[in-house]
Chain A
Amino acid sequence: MQILGINIEKISDNLWEIPKHGGMLVPGRIYTSRNMLEGSLQNDEAIKQVINVAHLPGIQKYSLAMPDIHWGYGFPIGGVAATDLNEGVISPGGVGYDINCGVRLAKTSLQYDQIKNKIQKLVENLFKNIPTGVGASGAIKKLPPHEIKNILRKGSSWAVENGFGTQQDLELTEENGQLKDADPELVSSKAIERGMDQAGTLGSGNHFLEIDLVEKIYDEHTAQAFGLFKNQVVIQIHTGSRGLGYQICEDYLKVLVQAEKKYGFKLPDKQLACAPIKSDEGQNYLRAMRCAANFAWNNRQVIMHLAKQSFHETFSISESELDFQLIYDVCHNIAKIEEHLIDDKKKKVCVHRKGATRAFPAGSPFIPDKYKSVGQPVLIPGDMGRYSFVLVGNEKAMEETFGSSCHGAGRVKSRHQALKDAKGRNLIDELTKSGIVIQAKGYKTIAEEMPHAYKDVSEVVDIMHYAGISSKVAKLKPVGVIKG
């Protein structure tokens, strides 16, 4: 098949390969369907970006893309690449500006019938307690630089130490909510300043907090291990490292643009600027990036605590009656040093996940004890009008995708197109009629984020499911949404 003049060969119904050509060091592989290839992928640069990533020095096996692939900068969104620790590079373009953008899923013991008459009030309380929108600030008092640096070192632990959660929350967060070897001294004063009033804020764009009910269970055994049951009320939080993370990426992109020249790399896109992992430039970026990752975990931890308080405020019930508990927290914009099987040998590599979720299987030493028998929860938000999914990581992810799965639905319409499509419609009314209460800073965000601006996330997760990378556990239906 030819897409935009690029030859793409079918490996299976759900996996397609771009043969190595030109300056590509490895082939490209895209988990997708013929339908998607001939549809939304015809319209943007994402496939070219898979090819570009294949030029990165030290890349291993394949330049990969998950089924929610769409046009990014440097890497496509949905891109995964592992690079050799000795010969390979690290690229901020493989992480993105919103370092450790991610998703957190928390459960309650409540069922839909118990909250349906008070969803409006719950949404209002969530919106009141959690700062949202462009440049949102002030969830907790403005923190001085030394306290921000503590967050950058400690991640979610900072929140727990300051009363925003429990020890168990840390155990149920990827990396326990704290990447080691984070060095705040490598973070600029500009980045610190951007973070000073943003801990515990949701932000804008596609970030959200959603109240969902568990609509369908696909895998009873795994759902039980995750603590999920039909009609249960759960919440999802989607946000990242806010301005602090954007600034760190920006600061180090400048450094790595120079490093690319210094080390004589010639890459097809400046946004793929990179440095050898072992170089000072590469190590400094990694250590600063880990600070942003820690800030993001702390951010979601604080927001979850504020959400829990909002439930108490709305329903006046005891801790034990609410039984509000974190299920899991995953990041989907990150670079991490992990061990994977390459050419039948275990090898440490730097896995870049840009809009891709870690999906480790049962038995992995890197997932919480309570999930070791089933595998890691993989959280895939959809759009605010349809559904989201909880998946579980499979062994095949370790064999094929460096333990990675998709991260969301992926946009198909530009914001401009979404605004045009929303003209003359009352989206709030439409959502209300389908049982979803929404509150946002402005109608424009609702229009830009309208459900059909995104791919149908069920098509995305089905590809991962049938490819055997991650399996469906539960489907969530939104009933309340707050957005920036």
Chain B
Amino acid sequence: MPYKFIEHTADIAVEVEEDSLEKLFASACNAWRDAALINKKPDNTGSKKFIFTSGSLEELLVELLSELNFQLYAKKWIYISVKNILLEKFNSNYHLAAEVFGQPLEQSSVELKEEIKAVTFHQMNIEKNGENFFTRIVFDI
């Protein structure tokens, strides 16, 4: 498992480790899904494309995961998987494009597990750990 949930007194904390930044971002999305939803193997029925630009990798990751939160709680659309992540640095900014697969909540058998209020910056630091990239993410619940 490229991510594992760790003890946190009040909230949900997860550590993610992958051999590329793109995979790190994808696994972070899957960790968000496992924190927010009781997964009953839903089918993808559609996709949405997101593009973000931020001054740091951490801000970019918070943007992406926060969008999943918004899609769930405001648009009632659940994230299931992510493909085709493109990540590059250009003019001192980081750019991310991702195709996110999911389905409307009402068509899904998925149950909501926790209300993730927000994705925090607390203890988030995307760094190299040997050959891999590593970060911790704390979800405010």
Contacts and interface: CB of A to CB of B under 8 A. Distances in A.
B83 interface: no
Interface in A222-258: 243, 246-247, 249-250, 253-254, 257-258
Nearest to A416: B7
A74 B122 contact: yes
B117 A98 contact: yes
Contacts of B120: 73, 97, 271
Given A73-B138, A258-B55, A204 B7 contact: no
Contact of B9 (A261, A271, A414): A414
Given A73-B120, A273-B121, A416 B5 contact: yes
Contacts of B121: 73, 253, 257, 269-271, 273
A249 B118 contact: yes
B9 A71 contact: yes
Contact of A134 (B12, B59, B66, B112): B112
A411 B59 CA distance: 29
Interface string A413-456: 11111000000000000000000000000001000000000000
Interface string A103-137: 00000000000000000000000000000011100
B112 A72 contact: no
A411 to B, nearest CB: 5
A270 B76 CA distance: 30
Contacts of A414: 7-10
B74 interface: yes
A71 B8 contact: yes
B55 A97 contact: no
Given A73-B140, A257-B59, A414-B8, A484 B115 contact: yes
A203 B113 CA distance: 13
Contacts of A416: 5, 7
B22 interface: no
Contacts of B76: 135
Nearest to B36: A134
Contacts of B113: 134, 444
A77 B140 contact: no
B122 A271 contact: yes
A190 interface: yes
Given A73-B140, A250-B66, A135 B72 contact: yes
A44 interface: yes
Contacts of B66: 250
Contacts of A43: 9
B96 to A, nearest CB: 14
B70 interface: yes
A70 B138 contact: no
Contacts of B7: 414, 416-417
Interface in B123-141: 124, 138, 140-141
B15 interface: no
B66 to A, nearest CB: 6
B116 to A, nearest CB: 9
Interface residues of A, number: 43
B73 A77 contact: no
A378 B76 CA distance: 37
A459 interface: no
Contacts of A261: 55
A80 B55 CA distance: 30
A135 B72 CA distance: 9
Contacts of A71: 8-10
Interface string B1-25: 0000101111010000000000000
B114 A204 contact: yes
A312 interface: no
A56 to B, nearest CB: 16
Contacts of A193: 74
A194 interface: yes
Nearest to B70: A190
Interface in A182-196: 190, 193-194
A259 to B, nearest CB: 12
Nearest to A412: B9
Contacts of A205: 114-115, 141
Most buried by B among A77, A203, A250, A261: A250
Interchain residue pairs A-B with the least CB separation, the first 10: A73-B122, A134-B112, A270-B121, A134-B115, A97-B118, A246-B117, A204-B115, A73-B120, A271-B122, A97-B117
12 contacts: A71-B10, A72-B10, A134-B112, A243-B73, A243-B74, A247-B70, A250-B66, A254-B59, A261-B55, A270-B58, A273-B121, A414-B8
Interface of B: 5, 7-10, 12, 55, 58-59, 62-63, 66, 70, 72-74, 76, 112-115, 117-122, 124, 138, 140-141
Given A134-B112, A134-B114, A205-B114, 19 more contacts: A70-B10, A72-B10, A72-B122, A77-B10, A133-B112, A135-B76, A193-B74, A204-B114, A243-B73, A246-B117, A246-B118, A250-B118, A254-B62, A270-B122, A271-B120, A271-B122, A411-B10, A415-B12, A416-B5
